Amino acid sequence: MKGNLTQKIIQGGTDLTVEVIAIGGYEEVGKNMTAVKVGEEVIIFDMGIHLDRISIHEDTDIDRMHSLDLIERGVIPDDTLMKDVDGKVKAIVFSHGHLDHIGAVAKLAHRYDAPIIATPYTIALIERTIKGERKFSVSNPLRNLNPGGKLQLSKDITLEFVQSTHSIPQAVLPALHTREGVVLYANDFKFDNHQKISPPPDYNRLRELGKKGVLSLIVETTRANEFHEVKTYSERVAKIILEDLMKQPLKEKAGMIVTTFSSHVERVQAIADIAKTSDRHIFFLGRSMERYCGIAENFGILDLPDNASVYGSPKAVTKALNKAEDNREEYLLVTTGHQGEPDALLPRIASGRTPFTVRPGDNVIISAPIIPNPTNKANRHMMERRLISSGARIYSNAHVSGHAGREDHRDFIRMLKPKHIIPAHGELEMLAAYGELAEEEGYRIGNNVHILRNGQAQVFNEGF
């Protein structure tokens, strides 16, 4: 493994060893992949992509690219280290359907003789990804496990999906039950009690797991260093913000565009609910809108009104934009491109590369934050300047996060009382910030808080 760095903790107990192997997502936000070895058996969690390493957004097609090239570019996890792991992979488990968790499944899963396990909505997204793959043939069995469900993977390992909430439907916290205790994989989550689509997190079950004994918590750190936003607000707050912003523009005789994450089905539902009583027809536009929303509709997760249509193919999107150009006051366009990605729809509208042109008085609502990296900041700034120079009025960052805030994490630690904590899904600054938070709760970095880098491992040897 990288640097040949394997840390060990020796404790009295049984003869079963539990090892956590950091494959991807321990030096960056994204590219998530972790392996947990229990005795001689291995469970893999997530196979994601690093969105920042190439010009990529929710519509990007990497189907024709080779895995080795993507590994070299840092786009997908370098799982070649798994050749040195002496154990049988029993399952590949996915926590939810975002690209930074499932985006590499078609590039990597075929290397393992193991089933792919996820919630039904996530399985449907994975199946769509696999069907689009052009380089590799992926024949791993696909198995559904509902939130709250359990599945025995072997004599020594049982998988449980604990109900959670995030910014995509059917996000779960996978828990591995072993003789040494529970290993809980918490990438990604928030504590939201007021979503329309998803039920609240199963707090009672989390407390029960804490009482049973959590050996290790593997946990996201994406907002651990944001001291000014210590608790994440509910999606209900985002809906109120959108209602206030959309109410007047929906009545105006001008064009109107809303852009958000196409995978954020709860947000898409809120936009549709707000606009359904207006006189405008709602066009959801873009390949990823069609993918995430179409599957959600098929599962009965998303309920679009009669005045809504979803168009994904370039030809269908162009036709819809032609309609809206001629009678803009009759349509609400919901598009991809909130980060200003050059080839996404809203940036192309802003730069005059579509049949729909922005005119003075048009309204644009951006229901997404800038994902913090220099490329996104530059792209978003350029897009907004172009929209403003065309006369549009911009309402930026109408959003609440899908990730737990610092005080949510404190509550999480207190619920679970994990013996060990492994911060994940972040750059070193984020991992260290989570370590500082854990130290406030009585843990110690280097003792029972373990900061790993990609390619390193943490071994819990002989007992809980």
For 98-128, the pLDDT digits (tens) are: 999 999 999 999 999 999 999 999 999 999 9
| pLDDT for the residue 13 | 45
Query: In sequence order, which ranges of 303-370 are alpha helices (DSSP H)?
Result: 314-326, 345-350
| pLDDT for the residue 356 | 95
Residue 266 has pLDDT above 90, yes or no: yes
283, β-bridge pairs: 309, 333
Look-up of token digits 């449980």: 160
Read off the pLDDT of each residue in 430-458 and give the average, rounded to a whole number. 94
Q: With bands split at pLDDT 50, 70 and 90, how would you rate the model's confidence at 265?
A: very high
The reply, when asked if residue 110 is annotated as ligand binding, is no
Which residue, among 461, 23, 440, 9, has the nearest Cα to 218 in the 3D structure?
A: 23
Residue 4 has pLDDT above 60, yes or no: no
pLDDT tens digits for 350-362? Answer: 999 999 999 999 9
Residue 250 has pLDDT above 70, yes or no: yes
Residue 461 has pLDDT above 70, yes or no: no
pLDDT above 70 covers what percent of the chain? 91
Residue 341 has pLDDT above 70, yes or no: yes
Query: In sequence order, which ranges of 10-91 are alpha helices (DSSP H)?
Result: 67-72
| pLDDT for the residue 285 | 95
Residue 422 has pLDDT above 80, yes or no: yes
Query: What tokens does 191 get?
Result: 């504590």
The reply, when asked if residue 228 is annotated as ligand binding, is no
pLDDT tens digits for 124-178? Answer: 999 999 987 777 788 999 999 999 999 999 999 999 999 999 999 999 999 999 9
| pLDDT for the residue 227 | 66
Residue 462 has pLDDT above 50, yes or no: no
| pLDDT for the residue 58 | 47
Choice between 406 and 67, residue whose per-residue pLDDT is larger = 406
Q: CA-to-CA distance for 49 and 156, rounded, in angstroms?
A: 31
The reply, when asked if residue 96 is annotated as ligand binding, is yes
The reply, when asked if residue 400 is annotated as ligand binding, is yes
Q: CA-to-CA distance for 209 and 148, rounded, in angstroms?
A: 13
Q: With bands split at pLDDT 50, 70 and 90, how would you rate the model's confidence at 8?
A: very low
Q: For residue 144, how far is the Cα from the chain centroid?
A: 19
Q: With bands split at pLDDT 50, 70 and 90, how would you rate the model's confidence at 411?
A: very high
| pLDDT for the residue 6 | 42
Q: CA-to-CA distance for 317 and 28, rounded, in angstroms?
A: 34
pTM: 0.91
Residue 251 has pLDDT above 90, yes or no: yes
Domains belonging to the chain, first-starting first, are 18-228+402-460 (3.60.15.10), 235-395 (3.40.50.10710)
| pLDDT for the residue 367 | 94
The reply, when asked if residue 264 is annotated as ligand binding, is no
Q: CA-to-CA distance for 361 and 259, rounded, in angstroms?
A: 17
Choice between 373 and 281, residue whose per-residue pLDDT is larger = 281
Q: With bands split at pLDDT 50, 70 and 90, how would you rate the model's confidence at 70?
A: confident
Phi, psi of 106 (to 5 degrees): -75, -15
The reply, when asked if residue 381 is annotated as ligand binding, is no
Q: With bands split at pLDDT 50, 70 and 90, how would you rate the model's confidence at 43?
A: very high
Q: CA-to-CA distance for 100 and 10, rounded, in angstroms?
A: 34
Q: With bands split at pLDDT 50, 70 and 90, how would you rate the model's confidence at 50?
A: confident
| pLDDT for the residue 61 | 56
DSSP annotation of 262 reads T
The reply, when asked if residue 399 is annotated as ligand binding, is yes
Kind and range of the H or E run holding 33:
strand 33-38
The reply, when asked if residue 166 is annotated as ligand binding, is yes
| pLDDT for the residue 332 | 97
| pLDDT for the residue 30 | 85
| pLDDT for the residue 132 | 78
Q: What mean pLDDT is reported for the chain?
A: 90
Amino acid at 212: K
| pLDDT for the residue 213 | 95
The reply, when asked if residue 188 is annotated as ligand binding, is yes
The reply, when asked if residue 435 is annotated as ligand binding, is no
Q: CA-to-CA distance for 31 and 35, rounded, in angstroms?
A: 13
421, β-bridge pairs: 217, 449
Q: CA-to-CA distance for 334 and 355, rounded, in angstroms?
A: 16
Residue 316 has pLDDT above 60, yes or no: yes
DSSP annotation of 449 reads B
The reply, when asked if residue 278 is annotated as ligand binding, is no
Query: What tokens does 257 get?
Result: 């565009």
Read off the pLDDT of each residue in 222-246 and give the average, rounded to a whole number. 88
The reply, when asked if residue 403 is annotated as ligand binding, is yes
